[in-house]
Amino acid sequence: MNNREQYFARIEPLLGQGLSQHTLDLQGVRACARAAEMLAGCRLQRFRCKSKIWLQKQLKWKNGFRPARVLGPGPADARLVGMWIPANEPAALDFHFEQGLPCVTLRIPKNDRFALAQLNTQAARWILDGLLKQSWPTEGRSFFGQRAWPYSQTKTPGPICPPTPTVAGQKHIMVIGLGSLGSEAIRLLRRKDLRWTLVDPAEVSLHNPIRQWYGTEEIGQSKVACLARRLRSTRVRSVPEKLEDDGIKLRALIKADRPDLVLLSAGTAEHANLADVLWEESLPHISVLAYPRARFFEITAVVPKENTPCLDCYRGRLYSGPQASLPIDEELSSFLYERVAPEDRERIGRELVAEPATPIDTNRIAEVAARIAAELLSAPLKRSFWMQRLLNQNTTCLLGGNTIEQKENGNYAYGLSQAGQVIRLGLEDIAGYEEVTRCNTCGRSLQIHHHIETPPSAESIFDPEQLTQALLGSDTGT
Ligand SMILES: [Zn+2]
């Protein structure tokens, strides 16, 4: 297989030839270029738009082997229109057929980079599902985000969702793991006065540019070095190393130059241990985990000084409704929710990489994580109402779905009934066998709200029927 084909190898199991037979017309391209980039990553080969040169350059940077072609106006299979609207109007997507041509219009409030990201991801999802499966949304306007929750999707507008506060001052963000979640979160958060500590031992591989913030000309270079160059290297501490789970290196980095926030997006076996170290160091952090194929994801905000639960409080104890049939298998559940023997952790970590996945799916996760980061970096009273509520009510674990899955009994996996939906879970969702249990890491007493009557036997833990219960209760036994 040559490089042109290899480039798409990791999405081929999902999409096959994807959108390679389709042509997309773009208008207002600067407001919908991110959607175009994601769709090119789903093999869309032909765009039509007026500002050809700018878009062509960007697409060529992402895929120098076989860049999508940008043609002048002409026939297309669908149309994407990017439109800026005043900042006090709600973010929305319009969908309608124009003489049979499916048209998606992005209505993006000016200067709201998270609305820009959210609408681009959602519009790309609509175009992909529409062109591949003929599954178009109902015609009309859909509103994205309200004051109470930025991830709501409704047909009628609610109280407006104000823009996420911009990160002010010389904040210092440490990002552990510069893959599809970490690198794209950085892309969204970047501002010229931020400082960074970037941690990742890897080099850019042939499979990375399709879902990560790297170009094909950067293949073979260190990820840390590529991002440092884009972020201005004087503001970046580069750590092209792996952080071992003994935490020694991480503690040394914190001691040498303490960050204001850590984004933990390595997706490796050390994840839980590194989170424990960050709790002990009293550092605000965000844990980002994609389940296999990025179909579902889990983002936990932890602020030790504001007395939130730690990551360990949730592990193994959250009741989040019926699990999805595919993504959580016993290995994943034990990786996420149990103490795994050190000799197994490395192997399991390798096998759980969230691939294959489309750039649309992983970008959604990065976008949610980056938004939480921007909120946490703001002073408590400057944060958005929904974020203040999330912290006050200790519902600091966000569970999101890039897909929906309806079970035989009509319930949705994880209670997620719309693709792209994000729900919040918290201390009220703790499940287990006892009345009260105690978190080993932070010492918090956890009240059990969902009682599980009969502890599963050792054999039944791996019985799919018992899996939900095993997930919830396996680490409350002692
Ligand atoms: Zn805890």
- Helix 29-40 × helix 359-376 angle, to 10°: 130
> What is the pairing mode between strands 195-199 and 236-239?
parallel
Least confident of 240-249, 369-378, 454-463: 454-463
Q: What pLDDT sits at residue 197?
A: 97
The answer, yes or no, to whether residue 302 has pLDDT greater than 50, is: yes
The 10s digit of each residue's pLDDT in 417-431 is 777 788 888 887 777
Centre of ligand 1 from the C-alpha of residue 441, in Å: 5
Average pLDDT over the chain reads 84
Q: Please give the Cα distance from 430 to 318 (Å, whole number).
A: 5
Q: What pLDDT sits at residue 357?
A: 81
Label residue 317 by pLDDT band (50, 70, 90): low
Q: What pLDDT sits at residue 168?
A: 74
50: left (phi over 0), alpha (psi -120 to 50) or beta: alpha
- Name the more confident of 333 and 94: 94
The 10s digit of each residue's pLDDT in 83-93 is 999 999 999 99
Centre of ligand 1 from the C-alpha of residue 426, in Å: 12
The answer, yes or no, to whether residue 333 has pLDDT greater than 60, is: no
Q: Please give the Cα distance from 322 to 240 (Å, whole number).
A: 40
CATH 3.40.50.720, the chain: domain bounds: 172-422
Which of 186, 357, 200, 361 has its CA nearest to residue 270?
200
Which of 76, 153, 164 has its CA nearest to residue 122?
153
Centre of ligand 1 from the C-alpha of residue 447, in Å: 12
142-146, 219-223, 425-429, 468-472, range with greatest mean pLDDT? 219-223
Label residue 467 by pLDDT band (50, 70, 90): very low
The answer, yes or no, to whether residue 57 has pLDDT greater than 90, is: yes
- Name the more confident of 64 and 313: 64
Centre of ligand 1 from the C-alpha of residue 440, in Å: 6
Which of 233, 213, 217 has its CA nearest to residue 225?
233
Centre of ligand 1 from the C-alpha of residue 403, in Å: 30
Centre of ligand 1 from the C-alpha of residue 312, in Å: 5
> What is the pairing mode between strands 422-425 and 296-302?
unpaired
User: Which protein residues have their CB within 5 A of the ion that is ligand 1?
Assistant: 310, 312-313, 439, 441-442, 444
The answer, yes or no, to whether residue 128 has pLDDT greater than 90, is: yes
Centre of ligand 1 from the C-alpha of residue 275, in Å: 11
Mean pLDDT over 52-74 rounds to: 92
Centre of ligand 1 from the C-alpha of residue 443, in Å: 6
Q: Please give the Cα distance from 126 to 130 (Å, whole number).
A: 6
Q: What pLDDT sits at residue 260?
A: 97
Q: What are phi and psi of 432, to 5 degrees?
A: 175, -170
128-142, 264-278, 415-429, range with greatest mean pLDDT? 128-142
Centre of ligand 1 from the C-alpha of residue 458, in Å: 25
E strand residue ranges, 386-462:
397-401, 422-425, 431-432, 436-438, 445-447, 450-451
Just give the CATH number of 172-422: 3.40.50.720
- Name the more confident of 446 and 461: 446
For 16, other C-beta atoms within 10 Å of its C-beta total 11
Centre of ligand 1 from the C-alpha of residue 309, in Å: 5
Centre of ligand 1 from the C-alpha of residue 313, in Å: 4
Instruction: Fill in the amino acid letter for 159.
Output: P
Give the residue carrying structure tokens 């941690």. 199
Give the residue carrying structure tokens 């799919």. 464
Share of residues in the chain with pLDDT > 70 (%)? 83
Label residue 451 by pLDDT band (50, 70, 90): low
Q: What pLDDT sits at residue 245?
A: 82
Mean pLDDT over 63-89 rounds to: 95
- Helix 113-133 × helix 180-189 angle, to 10°: 130
Write the DSSP symbol of residue 49.
-
What is the chain's alpha carbon radius of gyration, rounded to the nearest angstrom?
Answer: 22
For 77, other C-beta atoms within 10 Å of its C-beta total 17
Cβ burial of 454 (10 Å; 0-12, 13-18, 19+) is exposed
Write the DSSP symbol of residue 284.
-
Q: Which residues pair with 149 in a beta bridge?
A: 146
pTM comes to: 0.86
The answer, yes or no, to whether residue 433 has pLDDT greater than 80, is: no
